[in-house]
Amino acid sequence: MKLRDILLALSLPVILFSCVPTRKFKASEAKYSALSSQYADLQSKLQDCQRTMRDSTEAYNRRSTVNEERVEGLKQNNSVLLNQLKDLSVITGSQAESIKKSLDNIGAKDAYIQDLQSAIARKDSLNMALVMNLKGAIGNLDDKDINIKVEKGVVYIDISDKLLFESGSYDVTARAKEVLGKVAKVLNNQPEIEFLVEGHTDSNPYRKGVLLDNWDLSVKRATAVTRILQNDYAIAPARITAAGRSEYIPVSGNDTPEGRAANRRTRIVILPQLDQFFKLLERK
């Protein structure tokens, strides 16, 4: 290869690089820096969540061991005490056996309550992990437009209607599909979870076409979101319940434009797994 060709090959990347405008390069560099920072923040949140779940599991195991030892110690003490009372003829053999059964039942109920409390603690940890995953997937949207929270052990995702629908319509917007796709990604990673899609409106009377009132509008908006989750993002329809709540569960007053805007929302409710809870209740 001639020297001229070699020099041309070596200088080509420099020439190409110099063709890129400095402004675009700096913009790309700033975007990369922002994405790196966001990724590091999400990694830190994920590690905190994993640490919380690990600590909860370890604490549960320690409590279980302590409770088992406590119950066993109580049983031994009760047996010794009953034998002493029986030897002193304070109680008869049948009375001692009856008291022993009663004390065993008390110990079993105490252990049962401890199991329920531990189960609730585990559920709370899983709910927090789900919230962190949802917030990480959705990103930095305005809190007024989308809000993810846990109340009384239930995860709620509130999405403002201005993100989902045109005014007075139940047709889903292109931006709505983007937001719902991010939510669907997290829900698809938790296939055992069932959820409720609720439509909510403000108190302004509504009547248009076949829709008679806010009940109709809220139901149509809920089913519109449900169809997107099912048809576009392959969420099993058996996991979804669609419901309209009309104007009757407001989160703000309807006497201001801001309050009415807050009330016009779609809420996704992660339903508690009652079958697992009832299995705990069935234990004797």
Q: Each residue of 189-244: pLDDT tens digit?
A: 888 889 999 999 999 998 888 899 999 999 999 999 999 999 999 999 999 999 99
Q: What is the mean pLDDT of the chain?
A: 76
Q: What's the pLDDT at 255?
A: 94
Residue 18 has pLDDT above 90, yes or no: no
Residues 39-66 have pLDDT tens digits of: 777 777 777 777 767 776 777 677 767 6
Least confidently predicted of 147-161, 193-207, 255-269? 147-161
State the alpha helices, DSSP H only, in the chain: 3-19, 22-87, 93-138, 161-164, 174-188, 214-227, 257-263, 274-282
Q: What are the b/e assignments for 56-78, b being 16+ CB within 10 Å?
A: beeebeeeeeebeeebeeeeeeb
Measured CA to CA, the distance from residue 218 to residue 212 in angstroms comes to: 11
CATH 3.30.1330.60 fits 141-279, yes or no: yes
In degrees and rounded to multiples of 5, residue 56 shows phi and psi of: -65, -40
Residue 130 has pLDDT above 80, yes or no: no
Measured CA to CA, the distance from residue 3 to residue 5 in angstroms comes to: 5
Beta strands 265-270 and 154-160: pairing type? antiparallel
Considering only residues 34 and 91, tell me which one the structure prediction assigns the higher pLDDT: 34
Measured CA to CA, the distance from residue 265 to residue 25 in angstroms comes to: 41
For residue 211, the Cα-to-chain-centroid distance in whole angstroms is 33
Helix (H, G, I), strand (E, B) or coil at 76: helix
Of 193, 194, 199, 182, the residue nearest 242 (C-alpha): 199
Q: What's the pLDDT at 122?
A: 62
Domain ranges of the chain: 1-140, 141-279
In which band, very low, low, confident or very high, does the pLDDT at 284 lie, cut at 50, 70 and 90? very low
Residue 148 has pLDDT above 50, yes or no: yes
pTM for this model (two decimals): 0.57
